[in-house]
Amino acid sequence: MTVLPLDPAANRTPAALRAFLDGCQAAAVRAGRAQLVSISLGVDPLDPLAVLESIFEPGERHFYAERPDEGLAVAGAEAVLSFSASGPGRFAACQRFIDETLDNTLAVGDLAAPFAGPHFFAAFSFADTVGPGEPFEAAGVFVPRWQVGRVGDRTVAVANFLVDAGSPVEALATRVWRAHATFGAFDYSAPDFGGTPPAGSAAVSEPGDGPGYREAVRRTLADIACGRVEKVVLARVKDLAARGAFHPLRVLNGLRQRFTDCHAFSLANGRGQSFIGASPERLLRVRGGEILTEAQAGSIRRGASASEDAALAGALLRDEKELREHRLVSGSIAESLSSLGIRPEAPSRPSVRRLANVQHLLTPIQGRLPGGVRLLDVLARLHPTPAVGGTPREAAIAAIAERESFPRGLYAGATGWINARGEGEFFVALRSALIDGARARLYAGAGIVAGSDPEREFAETEIKFRAMQEALVA
């Protein structure tokens, strides 16, 4: 990426913008190919979700992610560049796309600011491939035309666009000027969520039935007893049908308020479908050469009182079945990191993470990223972790394909972003739903290990369903 010595804030005039774009067009002519131009500008504090609500179009791609307890949120809409891939090499193919794009990028602004510069928003499905007609690709990456990111009280607005020899520079300059003027004095008008179904109006059905899930658990326990696998995560789906269309951003508002310690997210494919959720699990963060991931496996419900809650947390920390499941996940993650030359560091014992509706065993794992190893290299090695797939990985994934009667798609996949410095963050797409007009498909899973009980695992998935179901019909 070429960073040009121009301060957009100090040269904020139509004439300066036009002169800058003329220079970008000359650079495109010299290079013999289009250049991605990225302009970053610090603006007054904005709520990225409010910005996305104001520019939401069902026929455009968008990405939104927020971690309220960390004061972090980012939204990007409309795709100026996009790429998709499939198969075992999908992570490497996406990295090549990112590298080639950055080789032909011209950027201005304070690129050291959080969420400045071009960002690549990405989603990887649970499996390497997806079937025909699936709403999302096995690997999809896009650069948004407009992006707003906030960390704490600092907000950066970014405009990205392509310039080539034939680009209408005057029209581009006008469009960018108007956009930055809008971000500089944003009007928080009420969003139009027309068509949102009223509370309680959605009919709920489940492909297959509950006994089918319990039988799948029993068959998996037999495989574990025979030594074929150690752990398999089996999921269920529920389908909701409403009288009116679900609006993904209305649902997202409820999720961000209820699950402040989760990644609330929305990813739209530009063809009318959105994948939304509130993920409790960070898969990978890379910042300043340091990586952070976590093992989160082993669950128990929340208590009705502080005393019951504490008693349940203590029981979770002593439950040998839950601890064994957790060790399988943390050990696998450490092994994957070590294979890349990363020395994992982690506490010797897990802690308990309390969410609004469930408690989990949690072990944070960190390390230093070696030279030549990049974020997507680590992601390719980690995904899917035993927390969402199982172990051994290949045998567990085969069991999932055999016993789940539905495609997972992005459920339990990896979703997040990468910036121009190779830093970024990905989370596991859990506690999630696929929204398609008046229909929504909800996903929830549970880890099956030796000692699992079919009724208990079924009950765990019911708890996990409840949060998204309540958000959809509230």
Catalytic residues: 231, 281
User: Which amino acid is it at 425?
Assistant: E
Describe the crossing of helices 306-318 and 320-338 by its angle, rounded to 10 degrees: 60
Own/partner pairs, 380-384, CB within 8 angstroms, 24+ separation: 380/91, 380/92, 381/336, 381/337, 381/339, 381/340, 382/283, 382/284, 382/293, 382/333, 382/336, 382/337, 383/124, 383/283, 383/413, 383/414, 384/126, 384/412, 384/413
SS3 139: strand
What is the DSSP annotation of 18-65? HHHHHHHHHHHHHHTS-EEEEEEEEES---HHHHHHHH--TTSEEEEE
- Going by C-alpha positions, the residue among 451, 464, 7, 463 that lies closest to residue 220 is 451
Tokens (6 digits) for 199: 């509370």
- Going by C-alpha positions, the residue among 389, 376, 381, 363 that lies closest to residue 294 is 363
- H or E segment and range at residue 414: strand 414-419
Q: Which residues of 79-105 are buried (b: 16+ CB within 10 A; e: fewer)?
A: bbbbbebeeeebbebbbebbeebbebb
CA atoms within 13 A on the CB side of 120: 30
Cβ–Cβ < 8 Å for 21, 28: no
Q: Which residue has the tokens 């409403």?
A: 242
Across 176-281, where does the E strand assignment appear?
203-205, 231-241, 263-269, 273-279
DSSP-derived secondary structure letter, 5? S
Q: What residues form DSSP beta bridges with 232?
A: 390, 448
Instruction: State the Cα–Cα distance between residues 204 and 213, nearest whole angstrom.
Output: 17
- Composition of the chain by helix, strand, coil, percent to 5: 35, 35, 35
- Going by C-alpha positions, the residue among 200, 28, 127 that lies closest to residue 394 is 127
User: Which amino acid is it at 240?
Assistant: L
Measured in whole angstroms, the distance separating CA 384 from the mean position of its chain's CA atoms is 14
